[in-house]
Structures are given as structure tokens and as C-alpha cells.
């Protein structure tokens, strides 16, 4: 019997001097990360960092510096005054009155904007006929720009020919100065704001309702629970996190009120509807005191931060 010697092609040992594998390194599963990957990642993030620095970090830092100076639109020279602007702001009665107007507006708008939005979402989610019409009617005002909204409501609040006083006259009641009466003007703006912005909260609640599991509700029906019992014991507890979100967003939005008040009343009558942001605008661009306006704005910014932290701690404690 003849025996054939093994060769390299049949799995034998490689002859001495065979060069090692020439496969390129770093392409397997144990590839080391090189500097090229980090550089490309930085290039992707760089546009965001540039815009973040130019439009957020720099304005905040520059505004903080301006609040420590007597910067003015009417004067070129600027002097460092330290915390003099802040001391003046804390002693300015107009600052406190405008802050009071802002807080009052927030209180009278946030409650209906949460409760009415929830009621509207429950009404639509209950299977009411004409779903598309109800959703359109509830959400459509939110899509309107502020100028259109204020124009519509200015006609409604018109003293002589407006719908509001026409309705009161038909009921045998005296006309009301919706935007000229100091005791009514803020409530009139609050009604406008609720009608205009409630669609967003309605949409959040409706999306939350549609995502709730039906198993719990079906089990409650089998146990004989009525509609109100299922609402209070099953539906509302599951909407707690959505309510927290809606409430926090609404408080922050109401604190920043400016547009509709400025267009309708410009803070009148007698400053009873002027919010803090309008006061900042008046001081900075009408009174030309940019440094003092910056100080007032940072005082308001600190107040918003405090309210936000208080809300987070309150809702976290409740959870």
C-alpha cells in the first residue's frame, strides 16, 4: 500500500517561513475605537453646540451682565452698577403689582384649563356621535395666531355692538366694560385665553385616555361598577401623570403671558392687566433702561425656577 505525504492544501502543517495572516487589523469584533470616530461624532454635534452657544448661552450671559450695568438704548456709555438694579427692582411697586397681575392671571386660567380640558376629553372619549366635529371644534382655536384671536374677541367685547353686551341687553342687564372696567378686564382676558389654548390640553388628555388599558374597566363592569365609580376609581387615577404634566406646562405658559394682553389692553386700565413681561418690555424699550429691564427679567426668571421646583417636589411627594 502506498502512503501519500500530507500537503499544505490537505490540512498539513505549514512550511517553515510562511508569512502570517495579512488580514487588516481592527476590522473584527475586537476593533479598537480610533480618534476618527470621535472626531466625526464631534462634527455631528458641532452645529447644535454653535447654535446653543449663540442663541442661549451667550444671550443669558450677556443679559446677566447687562443687569449689573446702567445699559440704555439712549446712551452709548455703560457703567457697572453692581446690584443696584436688583435693589431698585425689589423696591419698585410697579414690579410687585405686575407680578401680582401675572400670578392672578395664572390662578384664574390654570384651573379651568386643566379641568375643562379633562371634561372635554372624557366627553369625546365616551363615544359621542360626530367625533371628528367635536375634536375639530375643541382643537381648532389653538391653531389660530394670537392676532386673529384678539381681533375676534375685541369684536365680542366691543362696548356697543359686541356680542357680550348684546346678550346682556337681551337678558335685561346693564352693559359691561369688558376691557375698560378694572374689575372685569383680567377676567375677560382669562376667558379669551381659556378658549384659545384649551385645545392643546384637550389633545394631551385625549391621547392619554386612548392609551389606557381596557382590561380594568371591563373587569369593573363585570363587578357591577357604574360609570361614575369607574371614572373616579379607575380612569382618573390612571390619568394622574398626564394631569401633572398638563398642570406644570400650563402654569409655566400662564406665567409667560404677554401677547394677548398687550394687543387688547396694553396693560390697562390703569395697569390692572399689565403682566411682568410687559413691564419688562415697557421699561426696556419704552423707557430705554435695558440694564434695569434685564434685572427685572432675571428676578422673574428666579421666580419661575422656584415655582417649577416647588411643583416638582409637590407632585413627587404626592406620588
Position 10 scores a pLDDT of: 44
pLDDT of residue 38: 62
pLDDT of residue 164: 92
Q: How far apart are CA 215 and CA 79, in angstroms?
A: 68
Q: Cell for 233?
A: 376609581
Q: Which residues contact 75 (CB under 8 A, 6 or more apart)?
A: none
Q: Write down the pLDDT at residue 37.
A: 57
Mean pLDDT of 304-316: 86
pLDDT band at 197 (very low <50, low <70, confident <90, very high): very high
Lowest-confidence pick of 3-12, 79-88, 175-184, 294-303: 3-12
| Per-residue pLDDT reduced to its tens digit, 213-232 | 888 878 888 877 787 888 88
Find cell 508569512 and name the residue: 19
Q: How far apart are CA 162 and CA 164, in angstroms?
A: 5
In the block, residue with C-alpha cell 403671558 = 257
- Label residue 318 by pLDDT band (50, 70, 90): low
Would you state the pLDDT for residue 5? Answer: 46
Query: In this predicted structure, what is the pLDDT of residue 173?
Result: 92
Residue 178 contacts residue 185 (beta carbons within 8 Å): yes
Mean pLDDT of the 11-22 span: 49
* pLDDT at residue 14 is higher than 80: no
- For residue 118, pLDDT over 90 is answered with yes
* Pairwise CA distance, residues 157 & 173, whole Å: 15
Whether 4 has a pLDDT exceeding 50, the answer reads no
Burial class (CB in 10 A: 0-12, 13-18, 19+), 202: buried
- Alpha carbon distance 85, 91 (integer Å): 10
| Helical (H) or strand (E) element with 275 | none
CA-to-CA distance for 257 and 190, rounded, in angstroms? 10
pLDDT tens for each residue of 261-277:
999 999 989 999 999 99
Of 33-42, 83-92, 257-266, which range is least confident? 33-42
Average pLDDT, the chain: 86
> Which pLDDT does position 73 carry in this prediction?
86
Least confident interval from 26-40, 146-160, 243-257: 26-40
| Higher local confidence (pLDDT), 109 or 15 | 109
Q: Which long-range contacts (CB under 8 A, 24 or more apart) does 224-231 make?
A: 231/122
Q: Which three cell numbers stand for residue 250?
A: 400650563
Task: Dump pLDDT digits (tens) for 120-162.
Answer: 999 998 877 778 888 999 999 999 999 999 999 999 999 888 9
The alpha-helical segments, DSSP class H, found in 53-92 are 58-66, 84-90
Confidence band for 36, pLDDT divided at 50, 70 and 90: low
- pTM reported for the whole predicted model: 0.82
pLDDT band at 1, cuts 50/70/90? very low
Amino acid at each position: 500500500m502506498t502512503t501519500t505525504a500530507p500537503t499544505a492544501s490537505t490540512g498539513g502543517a505549514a512550511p517553515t517561513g510562511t508569512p502570517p495572516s495579512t488580514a487588516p487589523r481592527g476590522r473584527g469584533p475586537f476593533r479598537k475605537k480610533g480618534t476618527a470616530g470621535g472626531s466625526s461624532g464631534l462634527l455631528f454635534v458641532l452645529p447644535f453646540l454653535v447654535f446653543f452657544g449663540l442663541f442661549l448661552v451667550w444671550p443669558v450671559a450677556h443679559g446677566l451682565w447687562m443687569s449689573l450695568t446702567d445699559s440704555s438704548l439712549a446712551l452709548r456709555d455703560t457703567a457697572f452698577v453692581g446690584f443696584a438694579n436688583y435693589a431698585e427692582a425689589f423696591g419698585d411697586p410697579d414690579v410687585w403689582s405686575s407680578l401680582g397681575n401675572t400670578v392672578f392671571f395664572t390662578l384664574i386660567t390654570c384651573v379651568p384649563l386643566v379641568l375643562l380640558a379633562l371634561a372635554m376629553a372624557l366627553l369625546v372619549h365616551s363615544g359621542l356621535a360626530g367625533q371628528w366635529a367635536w375634536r375639530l371644534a375643541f382643537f381648532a382655536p389653538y391653531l389660530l395666531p394670537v392676532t386673529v384671536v384678539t381681533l375676534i374677541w375685541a369684536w365680542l367685547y366691543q362696548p356697543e355692538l359686541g356680542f357680550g353686551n348684546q346678550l346682556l341687553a337681551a337678558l335685561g342687564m346693564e352693559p359691561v366694560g369688558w376691557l375698560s372696567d378694572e374689575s372685569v378686564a383680567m377676567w375677560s382676558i382669562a376667558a379669551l385665553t381659556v378658549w384659545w389654548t384649551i385645545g392643546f390640553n384637550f389633545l394631551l388628555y385625549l391621547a392619554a385616555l386612548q392609551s389606557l388599558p381596557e382590561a380594568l374597566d371591563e373587569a369593573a363592569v363585570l363587578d357591577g361598577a357604574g360609570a361614575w365609580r369607574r371614572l373616579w376609581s379607575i380612569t382618573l387615577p390612571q390619568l394622574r401623570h398626564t394631569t401633572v404634566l398638563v398642570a406644570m406646562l400650563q402654569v409655566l405658559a400662564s406665567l409667560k403671558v404677554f401677547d394677548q394682553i398687550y394687543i387688547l389692553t396694553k396693560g390697562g386700565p390703569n395697569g390692572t392687566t399689565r403682566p411682568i413681561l410687559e413691564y419688562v418690555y415697557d421699561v426696556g424699550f419704552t423707557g430705554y433702561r435695558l440694564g434695569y429691564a434685564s434685572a427685572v427679567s432675571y428676578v422673574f426668571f428666579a421666580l419661575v425656577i422656584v415655582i417649577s421646583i416647588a411643583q416638582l417636589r409637590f407632585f413627587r411627594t404626592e406620588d
